[in-house]
Amino acid sequence: MDVTRRIFTAGVATIPYVGHGVPVARAQSTVQDVPLIGNRAVADPLELATDAYIYGYPLVTMEMTRRVMTNVAAPEGKSAPMGQFANMREYPDAKFRAVTAPNADTLYSSAFVDVGTEPHLLSIPEEDGRYYLMPMLSAWTNVFAVPGKRTTGTGPQTYFIAGPGWSGSVPPGAKLIQAPTNLIWIIGRTYCTGTPEDYRAVHALQDQYRLIPASAAGKPFTPIPGRVDPSVDTKIAVREQVNRLDATVYFNLLATLMKDNPPALADGVPVAKMASLGIVPGQPFEPRNLPPATRDAIEQAPRQASARIMEHMKATGSYVNGWTFTTNGGDYGKDYLQRAFITAVGLGCNLPQDAVYPLTKVDAAGRQLTGTSRYVMRFPAGELPPVNGFWSLTMYDADYFFVQNPINRYSVSPRDSLKTNPDGSVDLLIQHESPGAQREANWLPAPAGPFLLMLRTYWPKDVLLNGSWAPPPVIRSSSATL
């Protein structure tokens, strides 16, 4: 679920890109471990502070997101108190402006959970073959478990989710998932065609997604109402709120959060570098005790780090037929800059094995897509997006929102009963005006002005993940005939 502006996604998430992965593991020597963030060795206080900001950015952003999305007394819309599911009940329409790049393929079931206080039980009902996934993200935004059709099937399942320090016995019939951090985010997605009948079917499933504290197992349980904190800003985008934090507040929050959400064992080098600045898990951060040059560097770090995070877009993607996408999301290893960048533009990113979202703003000639022209996206016979789950082509205006249109269609996919050409190929017609009633099954309505396209692929096959298959280009055409 994107709660910040979504520029591209990899399962989160949308960048064009194939082949750039986590850095190759290095021998455990000081010299080789130095260049962990970016391509330069850390040599001065500003580099140390900037790297510390980048390293901690996902953890701070997750906490700020949690505050916003749990600041309600009871579940409503995309928000719910801690430990409770917020179930989205329908796809947004063109008036929806709460989240950029909305989804018209799956209904969300989202919950922030503190498994450090005590473990929680997650129950999933019989899905009867329906596609769904329940990715679980650590407080550092890494996906550590993904119950779902791809991994565990669609039968009824129960999971016992415990924090990193937990030990004990697991209830009969439950499977243990030990989270690496106390704070986790479950971002469930359940496929839905969007028809009234299928909405009812998915709502019945969502009502059976059950999340309870382990101490309530086998007992009647009524969720405790959430406490609304009036000081929490639920209007300003989370990314902007994080960017507004001054360095002292930011690093103090980071140090506090690291106590209950420990860094990975493999992160010893950046943790040691932060400690040299006085940023230590569970300890107050006091920059006044540092040398003047270090204090100045720390104050400059947020601005320097924010620029590096957003500039990383240039290095993290490559174009294929005008499309961009990344297969480096959801689990980042030591690639801390990539992790921060995905956090900034596509928080909630899936593993690429679960979803990859190519994105384009241009046609085959590199011209901006606009509703003043008509386009065809042709898939040769047998070359529709290679997925084990499903795919759709989604239309967004220049601000990443759905487009108002006379048939209320925001994406086109096989569920629209696409018509096939005599040679077996399939043309998707992308234009502002209707191509005519006989061709509307393949029509994706466009706005009158600039727009962008996102090809959502769920459970992509290996040929998509390894770059052997790429989306066909979007061709500007003077006619669009089947």
Q: What is the pLDDT of residue 43?
A: 58
CATH 3.40.50.280 fits 30-65+235-346, yes or no: no
Closest of 140, 61, 161 to residue 333, by C-alpha = 140
Q: Give pLDDT tens digits for 17-29.
A: 232 332 222 222 2
Q: What is the pLDDT of residue 479?
A: 55
Per DSSP bridges, beta strands 451-460 and 355-356 are antiparallel
* pLDDT exceeds 50 at position 157: yes
Residues in contact with 37: Cβ distance below 8 Å, sequence separation at least 6, in sequence order = 51, 54, 55, 270, 336, 337
Give the mean pLDDT of 457-473: 95
Give the mean pLDDT of 321-336: 90
Report angle CA 168, 140, 328 to the nearest 5 degrees. Answer: 120
Q: Give pLDDT tens digits for 212-244.
A: 999 999 899 999 999 999 999 998 888 889 999
Residues in contact with 447: Cβ distance below 8 Å, sequence separation at least 6, in sequence order = 371, 397, 403, 404, 432
Name 176's bridge partners.
160
Residues in contact with 78: Cβ distance below 8 Å, sequence separation at least 6, in sequence order = 1, 69, 86, 88, 98, 99, 108, 110
173 Rama class: left (phi>0) / alpha (psi -120 to 50) / beta: left
Record the tokens describing residue 429, joined without a space: 């017609």
Closest of 398, 332, 328 to residue 16, by C-alpha = 328
Q: What is the pLDDT of residue 451?
A: 97
| Longest distance between any two alpha carbons in the chain, whole Å | 76
Q: How confident is the model at residue 164 (pLDDT cuts 50, 70, 90)?
A: very high
Q: What is the pLDDT of residue 345?
A: 80
Name 427's bridge partners.
378
- Residue 78 contacts residue 70 (beta carbons within 8 Å): no
Q: What is the DSSP string of 269-299?
A: HHHHHHHTTT--TTS---GGGS-HHHHHHHH
Q: Which CATH number fits domain 72-216: 2.40.30.10, 2.60.40.1610, 2.60.40.1080, 2.40.50.100?
A: 2.60.40.1610
Q: Which CATH number fits domain 361-477: 3.30.565.10, 3.40.50.300, 2.60.120.1600, 3.30.70.20?
A: 2.60.120.1600
- Residue 290 contacts residue 302 (beta carbons within 8 Å): no
Write the CA distances from 37 to 20, 57, 333, 456, integer angstroms: 15, 13, 12, 30
Across the beta sheet with 374-379, what order do the strands follow? 443-445, 426-431, 374-379, 475-477
Q: Domain limits of the chain?
A: 30-65+235-346, 72-216, 361-477
Q: What is the pLDDT of residue 5?
A: 37
Q: Give pLDDT tens digits for 49-85.
A: 999 999 999 999 999 999 999 999 999 989 999 999 9
Report angle CA 154, 157, 159 to the nearest 5 degrees. Answer: 135
Say whether 444 sits in a helix, a strand or coil.
strand
